[in-house]
Amino acid sequence: MPSIKKILIANRGEIALRIMRTARELNIQTVAIFSEADRNSPHVRFADEAVCIGPPPSHESYLLGDKIIEICKDLGVDAIHPGYGFLSENASFCKKVIDAGLIFIGPSPESIELMGDKLTSKHTVAKYNIPMVPGTPDAVTDRATAKEKSLEIGYPVLIKASAGGGGKGMRVVEKEEDFDDQMDRAVSEAITSFGNGAVFIEKYITAPKHIEIQVLGDQHGNVVHLFERECSIQRRHQKVVEEAPSSVLTPEIREAMGRCAVDVAKACNYYGAGTVEFIVDEKLDFYFLEMNTRLQVEHPVTELITGIDLVKEMIRIAEGECISFKQEDLQIHGHAIEIRVCAEDPKNNFLPDIGTLNTYVRPEGNGVRVDDGFEQGMTIPIFYDPMIAKLITYGKNREEAIAKMIRAIDEFKISGIETTLPFCKFVMKHEAFLSGNFDTRFINLYFSPALLDGLPNPEEEKLAAALANYLITTKKVSVQAQTNSQTVLKTSNWQANRLSYR
Ligand code: ADP
């Protein structure tokens, strides 16, 4: 069995650091690559060796597969971990890595290829009787047929890019009159984003939950699942809050989804870490969406509830070892929540915000994990994903994880850039989230920027409490009023606002 001694991480930021940390625990040397925009990044300093790969744009740096392989050869690297994004789901890069005699820490190029296209992936898993959203089995090109099919499926329908990812190339069509227009948009977005205009049609599930299952396979045919992650709080079909376990799944449905996910993995001879995504309707019927053949952004919540280091397993699997545990060894312990702290303005349609982290103070303490790749004073480059950090909390149950998250959000001090932190606090306090009765429409149904103005902030709370105390001790208010919450309400309008969204 090959033993990996040196890994190059073909990525940047938080995920590069996260992978390097596990590598170091395993006494494996690390090599960072970085673009000119990331010269001062923590992942560059953390690595044992670091190589500048080019100018800031991804296609001149992090996407230069051949150059990355050359660097590996020059530095005596044994294996490449691609992280997520960039080259992680690029089958031809994966093949080149293997052909160069290196280890790709991930699945085979064949698995990536099969699952990289939504339609091909549906065909691949068909023999396993996996529940699918009703839809066209193949790409639609002819409009008349497409409309006929949509009528058969029943509006609303979703037009989806077969090569899609990151929520792009997806259009909801509410009624037949809108079909042509939305089809044009979906096709043109698919061509621009993926260079492939193939689209298909699916029934649009109107109150959908996004629930996914983490799987791990090894090169000896063993596949296990590590339970689910609930990722329904999304903007632009992209996740902002994730948690494990889901608060709505019964043990029976969890078991059935887990079995299905393992079958999906087996259908493409999967090894490494992967995620099988499902959409779940109001009756808790679930349907296969797609498989992501890489480590996901939200993998830490699974690590916290299972105690498994997914990157460690990936490395061991890539070395040819068997998965270090059996399905029956796994149990869910406690509850974990992750929020994506992005340089985005929730008051401005979550548009990316640019600037410098004038203040950047991480939360700490019991049950808090921060995976990030920035430090105070750094500028968020416009060339890449706007995620600054992942804030993850863990508690013995969901209530405790939420309480820790609210405390940690209050402790997270960021200035100079607008972030998703206030929005995530809004989510943590919202009745729908607290009850577990929410779906991917959360933002549409409950959120408006004005509600963020009413969010209490801890400084204001402290000030209000001090003021109330002062009024009481100086007897400026009567004893009767001390027990009347209206006294505090009058000192500041923060609490009144807070009551409005509870
Ligand atoms: P991508 O690969 O672009 O992320 P997915 O197929 O994984 O696309 O879907 C992303 C999100 O879009 C899902 O999490 C869900 O919110 C929504 N979605 C996808 N398919 C459907 C559907 N058939 N009905 C309702 N919502 C859907």
Lowest average pLDDT, out of 113-117, 179-183, 468-472, 488-492, goes to: 488-492
Distance from Cα 182 to the centre of ligand 1, integer Å: 16
In a domain, 118, yes or no: no
Question: What's at 268, amino acid-wise?
Answer: C
- Site to substitute for ligand 1 among 237, 240, 280, 287, most atoms within 8 A of C-beta: 237
Tell me, what's the pLDDT at 482? 37
What pLDDT score does 491 carry? Answer: 29
Question: How many percent of the chain have pLDDT more than 90?
Answer: 84
- Residues in contact with ligand 1 by the CB-under-6-Å rule are 133, 158, 164-168, 202-205, 208, 210, 234, 237, 277, 279, 289-290, 440
> Sign (positive/negative) of CA torsion 302, 308, 312, 315?
negative
Residues 342 and 326 in one domain: yes
Is the same domain home to 152 and 45? no
Q: What is the DSSP string of 284-299?
A: --EEEEEEE-S--TTH
Which of 70-79, 262-271, 455-464 shows the lowest mean pLDDT across its residues?
A: 455-464
What proportion of the chain, given as a percentage, has pLDDT over 70? Answer: 90
Q: Report which protein residue has its CA nearest ligand 1's atom 2.
A: 165
Query: Confidence band (pLDDT; 50, 70, 90) for 169?
Result: confident
Per-residue pLDDT, 502: 23
> What pLDDT was estimated at residue 473?
66
124 found inside a domain: no
Distance 443 CA to ligand 1 centre (A): 15
Domain count, the chain: 4
24 part of the active site: no
**Structural domain contains residue 127:** no
Q: Which helix (H) or strand (E) holds 404?
A: helix 398-411
Q: What is the whole-number distance in angstroms between the Cα of residue 251 and the centre of ligand 1?
A: 24
Q: If you average pLDDT over residues 80-96, what whole number do you get?
A: 98
Range of lowest pLDDT (160-169, 318-327, 428-437): 160-169
Distance of alpha carbon 443 from alpha carbon 449, whole angstroms: 10
Based on the fold, state whether residues 36 and 149 are members of the same structural domain. no
The answer to whether residue 2 scores a pLDDT higher than 80 is: no
| Residue 473 vs residue 299, higher pLDDT | 299
153 within some domain: yes
Note the pLDDT tens digit of each residue in 200-237. Answer: 999 999 999 999 999 999 999 999 999 999 999 999 99
pLDDT digits (tens, 9 = 90+) for 268-303: 999 999 999 999 999 999 999 999 999 999 999 999
Whether the pLDDT of residue 484 is over 90: the answer is no
pLDDT recorded at residue 495:
30
Looking at ligand 1, which residue's alpha carbon is closest to its atom 14?
210
- 3 state SS of 280: strand
Q: What confidence tier does 497 reach under pLDDT thresholds 50, 70, 90?
A: very low
Question: Do residues 89 and 237 both lie within one domain?
Answer: no
- The domain containing residue 468 runs over which residues? 458-497
CATH assignment at residue 296: 3.30.470.20
Confidence of residue 317 (pLDDT cuts 50, 70, 90): very high
Residue the block writes with tokens 């409009």: 143
* Atom nearest to 133 CA in ligand 1: 23
Contacts of residue 270, Cβ cutoff 8 Å, sequence gap at least 6: 107, 111, 215, 217, 223, 264, 291, 293
Catalytic residue among 18, 294, 340, 398: 294
Tell whether 219 and 192 lie within a shared domain.
no
- Asked if residue 158 and residue 72 are part of one domain, the reply reads no
pLDDT band (50, 70, 90) for residue 489 = very low
Q: What is the pLDDT of residue 244?
A: 98
Q: Is the pLDDT of residue 304 over 50?
A: yes
Domain check: are 296 and 435 in the same one? Answer: yes
Q: 335-342 and 238-244: which strand pairing?
A: antiparallel
Residues 322 and 469 in one domain: no
Q: 86-95, 144-153, 220-229: which range is least confident on average?
A: 144-153
Indicate whether 362 and 405 sit together in one domain. Answer: yes
In a domain, 115, yes or no: no
